[in-house]
Structure 1
Amino acid sequence: MTRIVIIGGGPGGYEAALVAAQLGAEVTVVDRDGLGGASVLTDCVPSKTLIATAEVMTGFDSSREELGIELDFDGDGVGDQVRGIQVDLGKVNRRVKRLALAQSQDITGAVTRAGVKVVRGRGQLAPGQASDGARQVRVLDVDGVAGQTRELVADGVLIATGGHPREIPDARPDGERILTWTQVYDLGELPEELIVVGSGVTGAEFAGAYQALGSRVTLVSSRDRVLPGEDPDAAAVLEDVFRRRGMNVLSRSRAAAAKRVGNRVEVTLSDGRTVTGTHCLMAVGAVPNTADMGLAEAGVRLTDGGHIVTDKVSRTSAPGVYAAGDCTGVFALASVAAMQGRIAMYHFLGESVAPLNLNTVSANVFTDPEIATVGFSQADVDEGRIDARVVKLPLLRNPRAKMQGVRDGFVKLFARPGTGIVVGGVVVSPRASELIHPISIAVDNSLTVEQIAKAFTVYPSLSGSIAEAARQLHTPKTAEVQ
């Protein structure tokens, strides 16, 4: 029986374990924090649970007046204009932690039922290989104490150790006032004034969520706009929404330091300006968990930033060693980590497998409105990496959006000239994470705009805008619609 050892129990690790067990391998997962990893325990599941509460608050606040909903808090029969709905952050965070733990337990149950052995500890890869190609994995206790080491023998090893929040030397988190995104769920009360440092996906999501929950938010962005890595039209919509709702967005403002001053936090910008608030959330990227694992000594090539170098079937430079997830730096998404892990096991265990294709990955930013993308981007078109025609339809024209009081957002499709094959798309709307799926299917299966346009859609529906964009692209002489 082939022996597989997986170091790390996040999406890349536990999905790989399920595949390997299904294919008849003897599988051991070495995990230090709980199956599900950061994705389930401190990142995706907790943050999106928090955001779910924020969505209810935002949806009600932004559309109740237009929809004719009045609040009468004092019972005098006259609608009150003052916002009377508050959030109990302690209760919200208790629910967040409860759901994250439950999800981790569900994953553990599924993995153990599949016959996978789970070992709690910290894994290290020993140098060298035996004559039969086997490798040794050292398992230390969670704190890395060498005296508690045990040895596992593996024919194949998968490293899926994820990452952790990056820290600025002069802005060390204390878990009380200066926080990383893993620490915010310990807050018992809503921050009155929250400074969010970093305007990437994590920073934008938390900034929008806490603003919706009732915090006064300042977003510090080192770039000229929020979400610099996303579609520029989508980022412009979101930044406009943020500002319109009262967020203080500081563009081209790099944070140099953060310190506590009594019960407040002072953030110093690189140009000497200071910003103060009651709390500060540092969202300045992530660092791969690859240190002190013996990887270089075992022949695993790393980038200067510590990420593991892999090919499109998740192989590293060391024979018999694969890697998946955030520790590879390929694409920091749970779905990509899971796919990398599955591909690794299929490949190592001799099954046919298609290499990882990042051009079909769909992703979502869980702000309000959400931003979902798949395939080639506007930047790819603008910079000549692909020749594609573009149509963008504002949701203001969509009848369902009008009925729901949705003002912000659009659907954008990219299609190849001549063939009309859909190669990418962007959706900015409520529940864009759900609306992107038909576009993802089109991209993954090389469907044409004609095929999308001919499919029935429900009337009225937001998805009708996808079909309408396809119809406009199907017209030979259509120019871009703004």
Structure 2
Amino acid sequence: MATRFDAIVIGAGQAGPSLAARLAGAGWSVAIVERHLVGGTCVNVGCTPTKAMVASAYAAHLARRAGEYGVGVGGSVTIDMARIKARKDEIAGQSRRNNETWLEGTDGVTLLRGHARFASPHEVAVGDELLTAPHIFLNVGGRAAVPEMPGLSETGYLTNSSILDLESVPRRLLVIGGSYIGLEFAQMFRRFGAEVAVIETAPRLIAREDEEVSGAVQAFLEDEGVEVRLDAGRLSFERQGDEVAVVLGDGSVETGSHVLLAVGRRPNTDDLGLDKAGVATDERGYVIVDDELKTNVEGVWALGDCNGRGAFTHTAYNDFEIVAANLLDGDDRRISDRFPVYALYTDPPLGRVGLTEAQARASGRPYKVATRPMNRVGRAREKGETKGFMKAVVDAETDLILGAAVLGVGGDEAIHGLLYAIQGGMTADEIRRTTPIHPTVAELFPTLMGDLKPPA
């Protein structure tokens, strides 16, 4: 006999726990099922642990530059990878424990441990227990994609999850994939003292960004000693004693002590029994949802990374907000209401919102663009961190901001000023007329808007 709930949430990532608590607060009985670690990717193998390690890498980098600021550190900088890992583990572990304590102490929420699988459209099996509910929410996240490449499985590799467990610095790290995850780890481990090579099959790094962003990121990584191999072609792998050899399409070989595979993500939907529920997925396994996160099956929703409508913690949380508002508040919120916004956590970081210039050009609309190098931003000069630039793309007819990028110190924070401006419908001229705080990075936004010109 099935145990009945008002709602079942499968997965305790970013959206699931918040949704469970909100529904319980409205008087619903809620079961939330997690087969691994509460907190999902972000807390356990994503944002929290990686940014903790990025902070350690930044500390090492800044210590090496201390003399530029008139500060002596008294000897060479050393790296204790075991202590870096322990610090990371404590920060991530505390976040996970806080989530567990919160869920376990929330009236109306039952936290179950185990692997959930659909038995029918509104029945879920967790081990030997059968649950039923009229509302079921999928928040199962994703994992590293591992494509078929000759020799890969035989030689061994790291993913974004397993590399977090290293307690010693690799001699030479080969990063397969020149996008967001790969580049963060590449710079991080270079700053820890590893030799690092990034191997990318595309003609440039982070290909979804404008070309000048890709070029600037490549330049500052190479300045720190990261080797970058582009247009790598078809890759194959072989073991050479204690080393791994990566053979590129042109026959050249890169060898290293470790390989990090960072070539994308895949959803954790292949073992949920979605066929028994009739829930439709696309060719990559992502659950197909409409603008309100509903699947094709009445009473079943999909939130977060598993729906392919956003690959970030903040989009997963917004999925929760949309579903909760529509179910409980009589609202009419939709995925299409949000603007794309994200960050790349290299140093300097990249903050991005809205359209790139390439996307604006492809849309066929008339636009204006402005760029300002960070070495002309007073706050960046004062901090001695002048790499990068800021850029805005504005509709030439409406004066509304189409998109922006801040690749530079504080870019991941400063970009929010332009996000709020876009969301609020501010024009470039309205931003130009504001009075910002000095000295800050964001104070250059009004100046940037005053530099707008048609593209060359």
Counterparts in 2 of 1:160 and 1:387: CA distance versus 1, 3 Å? farther
Contact 1:13/1:29 (8 A) holds in 2: yes
> How is 1:62-73 mapped onto 2 (pairs within 5 angstroms)?
63-73=65-75
Give the deviation of 1:269 after TM superposition.
2.2
Letter of the structure 1 residue corresponding to residue 17 of structure 2:
Y
CA–CA distance in 2 between the matches of 1:59 and 1:468?
30
Letter of the structure 1 residue corresponding to residue 130 of structure 2:
E
1:31 to 24, 29, 34: 34
Q: Does 1:157 align with 2:129?
A: no
CA–CA distance in 2 between the matches of 1:422 and 1:21?
40
Contact 1:359/1:374 (8 A) holds in 2: no
CA shift digits 1:369-401 (9 cap, x unpaired): 111101122122121254431111111111221
Contact 2:380/2:409 (8 A) holds in 1: no
Q: What is aligned with 1:92?
A: 84
Q: Secondary structure at the match of 1:364?
A: strand
Contact 1:359/1:375 (8 A) holds in 2: no
User: Which one is further off, 151-160 or 259-268?
Assistant: 259-268
User: Which one is further off, 248-257 or 194-203?
Assistant: 248-257
Q: Does 1:117 align with 2:110?
A: yes
In percent, how many aligned pairs have the same letter? 25
Contact 2:410/2:441 (8 A) holds in 1: no
User: Which one is further off, 44-53 or 345-354?
Assistant: 345-354
After the TM superposition, list the runs of 4 or more consecutive aligned residues in structure 1 that deviate by more than 4 angstroms. Answer: 171-174
> How is 1:322-401 mapped onto 2 (pairs within 5 angstroms)?
322-349=301-328, 351-357=330-336, 360-384=339-363, 386-401=365-380
Contact 1:323/1:344 (8 A) holds in 2: no
CA–CA distance in 1 between the matches of 2:92 and 2:364?
40
Number of positions where the alignment pairs a residue of Structure 1 with one of Structure 2: 451
Contact 2:353/2:405 (8 A) holds in 1: yes
CA shift digits 1:401-434 (9 cap, x unpaired): 1222223111111222243222321100122111
Q: What is aligned with 1:463?
A: 442
> How is 1:183-198 mapped onto 2 (pairs within 5 angstroms)?
183-198=162-177
Q: Does 1:127 align with 2:114?
A: no
For structure 1, list consecutive stretches of 5 or more residues without a partner in the other structure: 74-83, 129-134, 141-148
CA–CA distance in 2 between the matches of 1:328 and 1:171?
31
CA–CA distance in 1 between the matches of 2:11 and 2:34?
5
Letter of the structure 2 residue corresponding to residue 119 of structure 1:
L
Give the deviation of 1:152 after TM superposition.
0.9
CA–CA distance in 1 between the matches of 2:156 and 2:269?
28
Q: What is aligned with 2:243?
A: 264
Q: Secondary structure at the match of 2:254?
A: strand
Contact 1:392/1:480 (8 A) holds in 2: no
Q: What is aligned with 1:76?
A: none
Give the deviation of 1:352 after TM superposition.
0.7
User: Which one is further off, 313-322 or 165-174?
Assistant: 165-174
Letter of the structure 2 residue corresponding to residue 14 of structure 1:
P
Q: Secondary structure at the match of 2:422?
A: helix
> How is 1:103-114 mapped onto 2 (pairs within 5 angstroms)?
103-114=95-106
Q: Secondary structure at the match of 1:297?
A: helix
For structure 2, list consecutive stretches of 5 or more residues without a partner in the other structure: none
Q: Secondary structure at the match of 2:235?
A: strand
Counterparts in 2 of 1:401 and 1:270: CA distance versus 1, 3 Å? same
Letter of the structure 1 residue corresponding to residue 84 of structure 2:
V
Contact 1:423/1:446 (8 A) holds in 2: no
TM-score normalised over the length of structure 1: 0.88
Letter of the structure 1 residue corresponding to residue 69 of structure 2:
L
Give the deviation of 1:210 after TM superposition.
0.8
Contact 1:197/1:255 (8 A) holds in 2: no
Counterparts in 2 of 1:177 and 1:340: CA distance versus 1, 3 Å? same
Q: What is aligned with 2:293?
A: 314
CA–CA distance in 1 between the matches of 2:445 and 2:329?
40
Q: Secondary structure at the match of 1:360?
A: coil
Counterparts in 2 of 1:385 and 1:20: CA distance versus 1, 3 Å? farther
Counterparts in 2 of 1:42 and 1:136: CA distance versus 1, 3 Å? same
CA–CA distance in 2 between the matches of 1:40 and 1:289?
17
User: Which one is further off, 348-357 or 419-428?
Assistant: 348-357
Contact 1:377/1:425 (8 A) holds in 2: yes
CA–CA distance in 2 between the matches of 1:448 and 1:376?
16
Contact 1:178/1:265 (8 A) holds in 2: no
Letter of the structure 2 residue corresponding to residue 4 of structure 1:
A
CA shift digits 1:38-65 (9 cap, x unpaired): 221112211111111112223444x545
CA–CA distance in 2 between the matches of 1:258 and 1:90?
29
